Structure 1
Amino acid sequence: MNVDDARDDLAFIRALIAPEDHWQRQFGKLYAAAGACYSVQMLLHIGQFAGITPKEGLGAQAIGWGPSVVFLAILIWVIRRDGPRREGLTSRAVGAVFAAVGLTNLALCLTIGSVALRLHSLTLWLIYPCVVMILQGLAWLVAFMLRRRGWLGVVALGWFAVGVAMAFFIDNMVGFVAAATVGVVCFMLIPGLYLARQAGQDA
């Protein structure tokens, strides 16, 4: 390896680990929006247990799919409004991980969902949200490894714990939804709000 190659590699490594706090503004908004949408969904599921919200029919379908539709609309609106941003290598790396996790979730939904539908197995389908929580933990763990901030690691471990807890309660829907609620509030809504707030202070 010549001197120029070594210099380029060193510059790349420095850029990768350099602190970049502005990357988190848009991501924080979107993650908080997702947390808000799915927190409402968890409350509606709790309402189903209490007999307040519908358990069957179009109402139940709206509870199942509505939050994702609303979040998708918010995602498109925020991206179109804010437009493209110049980002450093760390920002692109973190963003790529979360984007990859999102696409992986879609593939898992189609895979597990198709088998669960074919076998008429609710338990098999409920494995999917458990895996989603674990993959969220994976994305935050990568962010922690890149950014080296302790709270990112705490969020990652929290997601792992939520995924395991949901699997433990897979035959107990009250416990299952309670664990999921802790996940979306504590490890999605709150971190998203924190990121957006910190970005606002740093701007």
Structure 2
Amino acid sequence: MARQNQNVSDDIAFLRELAEAGRDRPMVGGSILLMAGGLYGVASLAVWTLLVTGAMENWMYGGVFLAATVVYVAALVWLLRGIPQTGSPYQVATGVAWSAVGWAIFVIGVSLGVVSWRLQIPNLMSAFPCVLMALYGSSWIVAGTLMRQSWMKAVALGAYAMALACAWFVDQPAAWLLFGLGLLALLAAPGAVLMRQSRRTA
């Protein structure tokens, strides 16, 4: 009986070591974060440029981001093929968290668009950058906690701060400038870091 208990304890210890070892592996999906942050960051800066130059028409908001979304979806299908189908429990958990946030962003964006149309409140969509940055911040908190990466938690705080900044400047073109720079700094740049880490461990 004592021998069986020892074997069980050894097995549990071995499984714990395997799980803990997974924390040393980088978070997957860096290429997707780099692409999304870069693409929508540039789109936001394009909106800001159109606003400050006086060339913006109402239809251009949707046009710019619709074009960005078409490119994003096409690139996403290609990038997903390069994402490993297996990983450590921590990699899987962070992947699920980011995937859930991606779907939440899509549903919230469509919902705000419908509410804006139904209530005839065009400016309602101006709240979307704040919501998106808050969701990104929450994803980085989860990833930083699971992977024990303090730099990810710092990125999360930056995303939360950017959400508040976009809210403060919501009635000014500067909101789109901040949003664009925020996407580049808090999504694209960390994605590039994760891609570099993945290459080193490959």
TM-score by length of 2: 0.85
In structure 1, distance between residues paired with 2:58 and 2:125: 17
Contact (CA 8 Å) 1:116, 1:125: kept in 2 or not? yes
Give the letter for the 1:41 counterpart: A
> CA 1:83–1:49 in 2, change beyond 3 Å: closer, same or farther?
closer
In structure 2, distance between residues paired with 1:75 and 1:42: 19
1:32 aligns with 2:22: no
Q: Percent identity, aligned pairs only?
A: 27
Tell me the CA shift for residue 12 of structure 1: 5.6
Tell me the CA shift for residue 93 of structure 1: 0.2
Unmatched tracts of structure 1, length 5 or more: none
Give the letter for the 2:85 counterpart: R
- Encode CA deviations 1:55-109: one digit per residue, 9 max, x unaligned: 344x5543121112211111101223x2653211111000000011111112212
Aligned length: 197
| Residue aligning to 2:45 | 43
| Residue aligning to 1:118 | 118
* Cα-Cα RMSD: 2.5
Tell me the CA shift for residue 16 of structure 1: 4.1
1:21 aligns with 2:25: yes
Contact (CA 8 Å) 1:90, 1:146: kept in 2 or not? yes
Query: Larger Cα Rg: Structure 1 or Structure 2?
Result: 2
Tell me the CA shift for residue 201 of structure 1: 2.3
User: Equivalences for 1:1-203 in 2 at 5 Å?
Assistant: 13-18=16-21, 19-24=23-28, 27-51=29-53, 54-57=56-59, 60-80=61-81, 82=82, 84-172=84-172, 174-203=173-202
> CA 1:190–1:120 in 2, change beyond 3 Å: closer, same or farther?
same
Unmatched tracts of structure 2, length 5 or more: none
- Encode CA deviations 1:91-130: one digit per residue, 9 max, x unaligned: 1000000011111112212322221211222332222221
TM-score by length of 1: 0.84
Give the letter for the 2:25 counterpart: D
